Amino acid sequence: MRKLILLLLLAGRFPPDAQAQNSELGLPFIRNYSPKEYRADIQNWAIVQDDRGVMYFGNNLGVLEYDGVAWRLLRLPNKSYVRSLAKDANGRVYVGGVGDFGYLASNSIHGSAFVSLLPHVPAAERGFADVWGIYATASGVYFRTASHLFRWSEDSRQIKFWKAATSFHGSFEVNETLYLRQWEIGLLKLEADSLVQMPGGAQFADERVYVMLPFPGDDQKILVGTRTQGMFIFDGVSFRPFKTAADEFVKANLLYQPGALLQNGGMVLGTLLGGAVILDKEGRLLQKIDMTAGLLDNSVLCVYPDRAGALWLGLGNGIARVETGATLTLYDARRGLSGNVYRIHRHQGILYAAGNVGVFYLDAPTSAFKPVSGIANLSLGFLSAGEQLLAATVDGVYRIQQERAFPVRLSAQKDFESNVLCRSRIDSTRVFVGLFNGLASLRFSQGHWLEEGKLPNLQEEVRTIVSLENGGLWLGTSAQGVLRVTFDYNASEQLFVHSARVQRFGTAHGLPEGGAAVWEVAGTPYFVSPNGVFRFDAQNNRFIADSTFQIVSSLGSVDAFTLRQDNRDRVWVCFGREPAMGTPRPDGSYQWLQAPFVRFADEVIQTIYPENDGVVWFGSAYGAIRYDSRQPPDYAENYTTLIRRVIVGRDSVVYVGGHETQNRQPLAASITYNDNAVRFEFAAPTFAQEERNQYQTILENFEQAWAPWSAEHVKEYTNLPPGEYRFRVKAKNSHGHESAAAEFAFAVLPPWYRTWWAYAGYALLLGMLIFAADRLQRRRLLRKERARAHLREVELRAESAEALAKAESERKKNIELLSEMGKQITASLDSDIIFHKLYEHVNQLADATIFGVGIYHPEQRQIEYRLALAKGKRYAPYTRDTRNKNQFPVWCIEHRQPVFINDVQQEYQRYIAEFKDPQRVLEDGSRPETPQSLIYLPLISQERVLGIITIQSFQKNAYTPFHLNLMQNLAAYTSIALDNADAYRRLDATLQHLKATQQQLVTQEKLASLGALTAGIAHEIKNPLNFVNNFASLLVELAEELRDELAPEQHALSAEKRAALDEILTSVQQNSQKIVEHGKRADSIVRSMLQLSRGKAGEREPADINALLDEALNLTYHGLRARDTSFNIRIEKQYDDAIGKIEVVPQDLQRVFLNLINNGCYAVHQKKLTGAGNFSPTISLQTRLLGDHVEIRIRDNGNGIPPDIREKIFNPFFTTKPAGQGTGLGLSISHDIIVQEHRGEIKVETEEGKFTEFVVRLPKNG
């Protein structure tokens, strides 16, 4: 079979009698899957569905797997075509390729894998080619090739084979019996491990047999399909010809294997040239499925009915899923019905449709709509008046007789443009006509229609009419509420048009503003408006809301409102979209059904027309939809939700859902504490509009309730505390049917310092401390005994310690001067100015009715709100205590994630357990409203949370993901700005101090020397300081012990000596205490000094250079635009995708990019301000991979750099910008980051007056 051969053959047509079958069935709904979508070859040879519902397709590139979410391709080891697939009773999927066959085995870590059975085939029998058929039976699994029939026994793990005497062509399994056709021999069947010829089977020795199916309704019969001799029925004894309506079709279009039997008894036959057909057991044509019906290709290589009753087709170009049967079918332009369909009506057995290009009738022989001649304009209504059919059009009223229309009353100068027709209840010969500008009456008398005139005092556009038993009318209008009309009749029931009384009802009578449609259900008029359904209370002359039929949402236009009762008292409701059918209950309520109509729930439905036989027609914007309520499918399809993959950390896969795990729960997994980010991927293999499937998840022991339904099929969790968890997920398909939940249990292990052996170590350490304390106490007792001998030594040490303390006090003053380095803030880097500027920018991007910026003080457990406003008014200064976890900003800071809410009352539980509005007071004493929508974002710089930023609105749904993205970019820019401001403040403080102490230390190298000197000084101070502190503490204790020892001996001393001794001890104690106090303070200062002298290099990590450069460009551009709205440049980017990721310090490298791009933007903007002709400011960014280096070029077309200053641009504090606009440190810092930190190179290429280009080269391997 080759495409060339197919193109040379002609497709046949069905005979007229075959086409006439099911003439009103319409086209099936088809979902096509193109090769571009499933990303494999165009041809698909086999289809099977496993026990979980996952679909498998035999493709030229391998086995395709589809779970309703994602396609996966599994290649065979020899990269051959996959010709056949089958599933055994245990759910195992078998695969037949070219020169190989086997099965799919699953493993919870690596997923599905192909296991070849070729090693079990004797070596001499391995020279077979395509495996065209696989059949799983109770006796084993059979694999059929042209030369061999193999049988695999799982119990014995052995293969038995049969060799063809000539060549096998065609094989089938019917009711556990295997049938084969062998060239020159005929049809055979396998009995007792022997191939025996069937009775009469020899007639197929030279005739291709492509189909053998159980005959519907009779298990003893088999349908046999041949390519040239037609169909046969085998009854166990002989083959009897079976004539069908498709005989000529399958001959002309090349019948192909394998055929299929549908759940409703339909028999599917596929062809190579003409698509597929479905026959009933009488051989009548039920349905034809080809490219005219919506297939991508007419070449059907395989057919397969899934467990939901749909039919899958493997095509020569793609895959299709066809919803067979008569429940829902479609008429559109392919069947002659184009454009909007506003009304559908059957008259004398003929179905008519009114649309925007005229009236059409359904032609039974061709099963297509054809235009009614005489009407070619907008048509809006029908009415059967006895034997006559009337149509309302913009050209007037017509009488339709079969396929022709005749005018009854034409619209001259738009005076009779008609919307709707209604028959009078008291006079069947009278018809009321709802016009674009009023109401008219027609009466049939003596074979003619007579015009009784228009109501003179009614000019509204009438869209719907309900006739009352007293001869009056209710009128629904397009935009002017509801009208009630009453008439006077004479003795002969002649209507007096000019005396008609019109009552108008609107907002004063309980109706909403605008138009309304009027419909009658069970004798009661109902009035439908875009704001709800109403009934009329005659006693109070008012309309009251009625919720009986408020089951669907309103589109907003009364033109598409339908509320219609059928002959079974069911009510059909559609207010533009989302149709529903209500079946009355005994208590007067209705049981509503919407599942069958979900497929077109989003389409605009113009009308609903229920017929007496149970068929219901829907008029839509693209044609008519036929629904057969007598054959409702089972929408409660049982299906499973599958956990497809579980990924831990960045890319560690701990579980893959394979095809043999449907009846097993996955084994619990253990996850280390440092790698506790978990990602779940899941799917629901239910394929009726699978894009509408929704999922609901919960992580037990972490989340309190199920998450809202969502179309997302991925769920991620990060920073889970240690503990045991169970992830559960369930699905809801497009019909609203829920699946059972799938589960995955896992545990997050505690860190090492919270394990049992760590606690054992803590206990051991505590025991050692107690032992050490005991030994220390013993030594103290010994020291008391020696106190008297060491009294003089203590006094000398006290004097020495006091002298050292005074010297240390002098050194402390110098250290305090160093600590003042970070306390100076220049006016241009004031954080309050930054916050006010930020508020100005936020109001340009989103609704920031409430705006606030909080600075996080972790040591105080507080968030300090430096700026907070509501409607431009400042809040009184306040802080938030971070120990209260029921606060959005606290959650934001602790999780380092945004808080994004569009309805606070409905969504707050995603972040906090309880929400209370703090009701903070503004500075003017007023209290603002409670916000309904809000965004909180953390301000993070170099893994440190600086604070939070929030915008809030009094409106619900005020923010979109777009706003969130903008705010995240602005928050990132703010974090960098605050971090830079802080860095510049510290640098300025350092410079001021250095200028006061030594003017020569102006370069960065000398600053580093001062840091080393400071560290050395601190180390030198710390040793004698420790000595002073230890001996001073000891001196206090010894003095006290000496006082205790001398107490018993004081009576031997004179009063004068006792007073002198007591004064000496008191002085020693006081001086020692002062030494201890000041020594501790000095020690604290030295420790701070050491801590300041130590630097921590940034950590290297793989980073995308292109992404870092792009982010720096965006931050610089938007920042400059925010400060100066006149700023605008052209940006040229040329990135090399081959660079990939390299090892760098991302924060430092991005600071280099920010400095270089900011300088370039400043240069081109200044050049533009000078008015340089037709100058177009341009920044060009380029990255290239040059062997083992990466090159980054940042170019601007500004004024360039003069030759006399080019050698100075990398010197610290050198700048060409005006005073106050630059520090002169940007290029110096950038040079150190590139050259010293990254071992790279940075240079400048420039031409004065034309351009400047900075070239950065970095080693690719770090």
HEC string of 1159-1191 equals HHHHHHHHHHHCCCCCCCCEEEEEEEEECCEEE
* pLDDT of 246: 93
Q: State how far the Cα of 123 lies from the Cα of 539, in Å rounded to an integer.
A: 96
Residues 6+ apart with CB under 8 A from 21: 245, 284, 285, 286
CATH class for domain 784-822+999-1093? mainly alpha
Q: State how far the Cα of 946 lies from the Cα of 924, in Å rounded to an integer.
A: 29
Q: State how far the Cα of 1106 lies from the Cα of 1111, in Å rounded to an integer.
A: 9
Helix (H, G, I), strand (E, B) or coil at 125: helix
- Neighbouring CB atoms inside 10 A of 1155's CB total 22
Q: Considering Cα of 717, then 721, then 722, then 728, what sign does the dihedral take?
A: negative
Query: Parallel, antiparallel, or unpaired for β 1178-1186 and 1130-1134?
Result: parallel
The CATH architecture assigned to 824-994 reads 2-Layer Sandwich (3.30)
* pLDDT of 701: 93
b (16+ CB within 10 A) / e for 1222-1250:
bbebbbbbbbbbbeebbebebeeebeeee
Q: State how far the Cα of 148 lies from the Cα of 348, in Å rounded to an integer.
A: 62
- Of the candidates 230, 217, 328, which has an alpha carbon nearest to the alpha carbon of residue 280? 217
CB–CB of 952/917 below 8 Å?
no
Q: In what order do the strands lie in the sheet with 723-732?
A: 669-671, 742-748, 723-732, 694-700
Token pair for residue 127? Answer: 């020279």
Token pair for residue 279? Answer: 């026959």
Domains 642-754 and 784-822+999-1093 share a fold: no
This model's pTM is above 0.75: no
CB–CB of 869/880 below 8 Å?
no
Task: Give me Rg for the CA atoms of the chain.
Answer: 44
* pLDDT of 67: 94
Domain extents for the chain?
A: 1-33+244-326, 642-754, 784-822+999-1093, 824-994, 1101-1259
The DSSP 8-state label assigned to residue 1247 in this structure reads E
- Mean pLDDT, each 10-residue run in order, the chain (1262 residues): 36 38 79 96 96 95 95 95 95 96 81 91 94 95 96 94 94 94 94 93 94 92 94 94 94 92 92 95 92 95 93 97 88 90 94 94 91 94 94 96 94 93 90 94 91 89 92 92 86 70 93 92 91 92 89 69 90 86 90 86 89 93 90 79 89 72 61 86 92 94 94 92 92 89 91 79 85 81 70 63 55 37 39 72 78 86 85 81 88 90 87 81 79 90 85 88 81 76 68 53 44 58 71 73 72 74 77 75 56 53 90 85 83 90 88 90 86 83 90 92 85 72 74 88 90 92 72
- The hierarchical CATH code for the domain 1101-1259 is 3.30.565.10
Which ranges of 370-439 would DSSP assign to H, the alpha helix?
A: none
At the topology level, CATH places domain 642-754 in Immunoglobulin-like (2.60.40)
Backbone dihedral angles phi then psi of residue 294, each to the nearest 5 degrees: 125, 0
Q: State how far the Cα of 1223 lies from the Cα of 344, in Å rounded to an integer.
A: 79
Residues 6+ apart with CB under 8 A from 504: 480, 481, 482, 483
Q: State how far the Cα of 1219 lies from the Cα of 1105, in Å rounded to an integer.
A: 33
Inter-residue long-range contacts of 85-90, CB under 8 Å, 24+ positions, other chains counted:
85/46, 85/47, 85/48, 85/56, 85/57, 85/58, 85/134, 86/48, 86/134, 86/135, 86/136, 86/141, 87/48, 87/49, 87/50, 87/51, 87/136, 88/136, 88/141, 89/136, 89/138
- Tokens 């170099």 correspond to 942
Alpha carbon 328 to its chain centroid, in Å, reads 30
Alpha carbon 763 to its chain centroid, in Å, reads 50
- Decide: residue 368, CB within 10 A, 0-12 exposed, 13-18 middle, 19+ buried: middle
